Amino acid sequence: MTIVDKIKLTLEMLGGVASLSEIYKAFKIINKDNPSVPQPSIRARIYEHCKTLDAYRGKDIFGSIYGRGEGIFSLKEFFKSDVDAKFIYELKKSRINLWNKLIKKKTIGNKVYITNKLNKKLNIHKGERGIYRNIKNTKFSMHDEGIAQSVLDTGKVYDDVLTDTHLEYHYPTTSQKTTDNGEINSLKVAEKYNVPIFIVLGLEKDSSKKELRFGYVKDHNDQRKTVLVEFVKDKKLIFSPKFEEITEANENEDDLPLFDKNRKNGKGYSKRRENNQPKFRSDVFKHYIKNNECAVCEINLFLDAAHIIPVEKRGTDNKQNGIILCKNHHKAFDDNFFKIIPSTLKIEFIEDQSNLRIKKTDIKHLVNKPAKKYLEWRYKNY
């Protein structure tokens, strides 16, 4: 892969448009196996493939959205015009700048709180619907339904799952289907262009205030009708789902860790926490996207992302350490009523199978499979 190809992937990870400094940081991740490529070489390749710059002598791949000397570049295939790329870039920056101001002024105990009055003044979220997209200010030539600006999560209506790092947010399902679809699409546009959104959380003890978080849409699942939002921590760059695609393409099963060293064996573990890990759930359902149903009975309701090496044994949250099971068969799996033979993928029954209602004899039907090393550990230790 050439430097130009890696720059294109870098810009995809950043949502199609970014500053040179952001491109340099992201390029290091793409190019971690060859970190010796200097920044001037990256900049030179961009200049050579940007028609508006004097150094142009290749293909017209990158756009300089403010002209010469500003250092903001877009991936032309991502946009109809530089106007659209500029709109996305300025929308990102305006939200990031607002968030940075709020962090400085409204943080209490590492959490950001705003009054309903300030929320109204800043127009962060409007109305009682879960998704706010401010269509007038966020629509552009490629997407006239707008880009999601914020989501409201009161914890009262949908089965959303909230942790310190992620939110699993369910699609709206109201009588206003056209509006619902527009709002869902506005979240998907935010995902594609890596545009950050605000997450507004209701407070049980004080209805005059809201907790505010800031993050990026990392994934969506139309079958499960959910989106995954990752919260910004310590101003870390968060990339679009393209980053996961690149990582997965280079993933070698032999290099996958069996255990999460940051977990303390058996301490601080709860079954509730295992079932409510938004990132793990999202990754597992995405891994088995063509088989989003229980792996042993084919039911497509009441599904869990089950760990093969359990959390209490410090099992990793890698998607290949997961399998989709309905709640009944998740419990049966955890209680060792059945297990999976690593070499054949056949289901082996340990306890009486007559009441388990398992329809499958193996899991060979899964398009993507769990990693063999996780199945081997469980088969040996359970």
Please report, for the chain, the start and end positions of each structural domain, with discontinuous segments joined by +: 3-78, 92-240, 253-381
| DSSP reduced 3-state for 169 | strand
**Helix (H), strand (E) at residue 279:** helix 278-287
**Helix (H), strand (E) at residue 115:** strand 111-115
Question: What fold, for 92-240?
Answer: PUA domain-like (2.30.280)
* C-beta of residue 256 within 8 angstroms of C-beta of residue 320: yes
* C-beta of residue 239 within 8 angstroms of C-beta of residue 26: yes
Look up residue 46 and give its two tokens. 């961009």
310-337 pLDDT, tens digit each: 999 999 999 999 999 999 999 999 999 9
* Beta strand segments in 171-245, E: 197-202, 209-221, 226-231
Looking at residue 281, its pLDDT comes to 93
- What stretches in the chain show pLDDT beneath 50? 266-276
Looking at residue 254, its pLDDT comes to 85
Q: Which amino acid is at 180?
A: D
* C-beta of residue 175 within 8 angstroms of C-beta of residue 168: no
The sheet carrying 17-19 orders its strands as 17-19, 72-75, 62-64
* C-beta of residue 92 within 8 angstroms of C-beta of residue 195: yes
**DSSP single-letter state for residue 315:** B
Neighbouring residues of 86: CB distance < 8 A, sequence distance ≥ 6: 17, 65, 66
What is the distance between the alpha carbons of residues 10 and 61, in angstroms, rounded to a whole number? 13
- Specify the length of the chain in residues: 382
The sign of the CA dihedral 347, 301, 202, 143 is: positive
- Please tell me the pTM assigned to this model: 0.89
Looking at residue 265, its pLDDT comes to 56
Look up residue 94 and give its two tokens. 């305006």
Mean per-residue pLDDT over the chain, rounded:
90
What is the distance between the alpha carbons of residues 98 and 78, in angstroms, rounded to a whole number? 26
Look up residue 177 and give its two tokens. 């289907």
The residues with which 150 forms a beta bridge, in sequence order, are 132, 198
CA-wise closest residue to 7 among 91, 63, 53: 63
